[in-house]
């Protein structure tokens, strides 16, 4: 047996023993965890699964072992992913730490920052939110106004962020602040701080879906040690763009994974097939084929680009392609589902609808945000035009 075969066998055995049965069923919205200090678990198996995967380092399989990661090679990571997929295992947690600030700390963080934060991210002990957008400064992020003024060994931070996902539930924030008012892009710094710091407050924003997953976030004289700056002072634009690449990659990867959770073929079969079990309506067949072809093409392109990048590294600016196509595809999936389900896809609450039907209706509205979060479709098209295709403004 080759080493990789042995590894595969090891993974299979470990998962058999350690992945609880309920974690091999489709994810249920109220059992999703973002981890963190005060998190509670509706299903005790979610806690167990997170602890086991976290302690093994397999929530962050490629990160070095000395920071709590799995220390796996890209080939081993692929095997782990295949084996998780084979048993239909749930993702142990949704984590901005794993997806965004962790990879950035690996590249830009000081040794002290890595030692302090990465192991806690891997084990889901500390949850993170993202303090980028401000009122009036979303797409034009470089115009941000939140000020950080030096005071001895600290910065004093004042300002407001908006659309901060899970800000009222997260433990720490990675925030972009202005450390120089003379220049736009060159006056931004990324800094980390505890959301329990004096002067931090949040106000939840209610969404169209009825949920409230993000907040307005206010900083009033928040004192943060200078050692919490990520990268160089005034070089936050480069650091923040790197983080956005990881974010866009992950938003699209999340969308790729969703075809296992949300199967458009099953929707067509359940709601549009005749007594012979076949879908005969040409319009339904046409829409379904377009979605499946786009999905397949996107997956192949992603695979090709990943194989072309350095092992384990990010896809760089091409992440904007995946974010753009992935977001549009996910919106198409839900539009298709709502059309196919007819009245049964229009339920908001009540016993006349199954929990699944209610989930689809809520997620249909949630999917509308896919082309806004992590950079809008228009902004990503600009990135693709300039940085991927090399086009210039005329």
Ligand X SMILES: Cc1cc2nc3c(=O)[nH]c(=O)nc-3n(C[C@H](O)[C@H](O)[C@H](O)COP(=O)(O)OP(=O)(O)OC[C@H]3O[C@@H](n4cnc5c(N)ncnc54)[C@H](O)[C@@H]3O)c2cc1C
List interacting residues with ligand X (CB under 6 A). Answer: 129-133, 138-139, 161, 163-165, 214, 369, 372-373, 375-376, 378-379, 382
For residues 175 and 154, give the distance between their C-alpha atoms in angstroms, rounded to a whole number. Answer: 15
Q: How far is the CB of 364 from ligand X (least distance, A)?
A: 14
Closer residue to ligand X in complex, CB, 245/287: 245
Closer to ligand X by Cβ: residue 67 or 246: 246
What minimum distance in Å lies between the beta carbon of 97 and ligand X? 13
**Which residue's CB is nearer to ligand X, number 50 or number 176?**
176
Q: Which is nearer to ligand X, 174 or 262 (CB)?
A: 174
Q: In this complex, which beta carbon is closest to ligand X, that of residue 234 or of residue 377?
A: 377
Chain position whose Cβ is nearest to ligand X = 138
Q: Least CB distance from residue 238 to ligand X, whole Å?
A: 17
Please identify, using beta-carbon distances, which residue of 67 and 166 lies nearer to ligand X.
Answer: 166
At 85 the three-state DSSP class reads: helix
Cβ proximity to ligand X: between 43 and 382 the closer is 382
How far are the Cα atoms of 36, 279, 289, 341 from residue 213, in angstroms, in the given order? 15, 37, 33, 27
Beta-carbon count within 10 A of 208 CB: 10
Distance between CA atoms of 68 and 118, rounded to whole angstroms? 7
228 is written with which tokens?
Answer: 């919490």
Q: How far is the CB of 133 from ligand X (least distance, A)?
A: 4
Q: How far is the CB of 5 from ligand X (least distance, A)?
A: 41
Helix, strand and coil content of the chain, in percent to the nearest 5, comes to 55, 15, 30
Distance CA(108)–CA(231), nearest Å, equals 5
Task: Characterize the bridge pairing of strands 172-178 and 200-205.
Answer: unpaired
* Token reading at 293: 């072809």
- The CB-of-375 to ligand X minimum distance in angstroms stands at 6
Phi-psi region of 142 (alpha: psi -120 to 50; beta: other; left: phi over 0): alpha
- Angstrom distance (rounded) from CA 344 to CA 371: 26
The residues facing 229 across adjacent strands are 191
Instruction: Find the shortest distance in angstroms from Cβ 216 to ligand X.
Output: 11
Q: Is the dihedral of CA 7, 13, 18, 24 positive or negative?
A: positive
């Amino acid at each position: 047996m080759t080493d990789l075969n042995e590894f595969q066998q090891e993974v299979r055995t470990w998962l058999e023993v350690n992945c609880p049965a309920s974690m091999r069923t489709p994810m249920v919205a109220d059992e999703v965890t973002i981890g963190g200090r005060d998190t509670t678990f509706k299903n005790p198996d979610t806690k167990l699964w997170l602890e086991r995967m976290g302690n093994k380092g397999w929530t962050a399989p490629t990160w070095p072992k000395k920071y709590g990661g799995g220390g796996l090679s890209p080939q081993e990571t692929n095997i782990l992913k295949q084996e998780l997929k084979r048993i239909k295992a749930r993702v142990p947690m949704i984590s901005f730490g794993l997806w965004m600030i962790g990879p950035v700390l690996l590249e830009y963080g000081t040794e002290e920052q890595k030692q302090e934060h990465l192991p806690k991210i891997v084990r889901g002990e500390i949850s993170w939110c993202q303090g980028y957008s401000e009122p009036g400064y979303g797409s034009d992020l470089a115009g941000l106004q939140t000020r950080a003024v030096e005071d001895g060994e600290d910065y004093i931070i004042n300002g407001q962020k908006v659309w901060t996902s899970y800000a009222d539930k997260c433990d720490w924030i990675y925030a972009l602040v202005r450390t120089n008012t003379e220049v736009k892009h060159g006056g931004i710094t990324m800094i980390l701080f505890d959301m329990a710091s004096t002067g931090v407050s949040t106000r939840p924003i209610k969404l169209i879906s009825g949920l409230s997953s993000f907040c307005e976030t206010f900083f009033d004289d928040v004192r943060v040690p200078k050692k919490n700056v990520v990268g160089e002072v005034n070089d936050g634009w480069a650091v923040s763009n790197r983080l956005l690449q990881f974010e866009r990659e992950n938003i699209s990867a999340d969308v790729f994974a969703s075809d296992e959770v949300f199967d458009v073929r099953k929707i067509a079969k359940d709601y549009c097939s005749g007594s012979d079990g076949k879908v005969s309506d040409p319009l339904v067949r046409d829409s379904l084929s377009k979605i499946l072809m786009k999905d397949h093409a996107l997956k192949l392109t992603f695979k090709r680009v990943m194989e072309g990048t350095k092992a384990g590294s990010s896809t760089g600016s091409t992440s904007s392609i995946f974010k753009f196509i992935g977001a549009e595809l996910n919106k198409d999936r839900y539009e298709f589902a709502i059309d196919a389900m007819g009245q049964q896809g229009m339920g908001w609450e009540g016993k006349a609808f199954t929990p699944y039907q209610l989930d689809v209706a809520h997620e249909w509205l949630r999917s509308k945000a896919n082309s806004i979060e992590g950079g809008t479709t228009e902004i990503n098209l600009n990135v693709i035009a300039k940085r991927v295709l090399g086009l210039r403004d005329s």
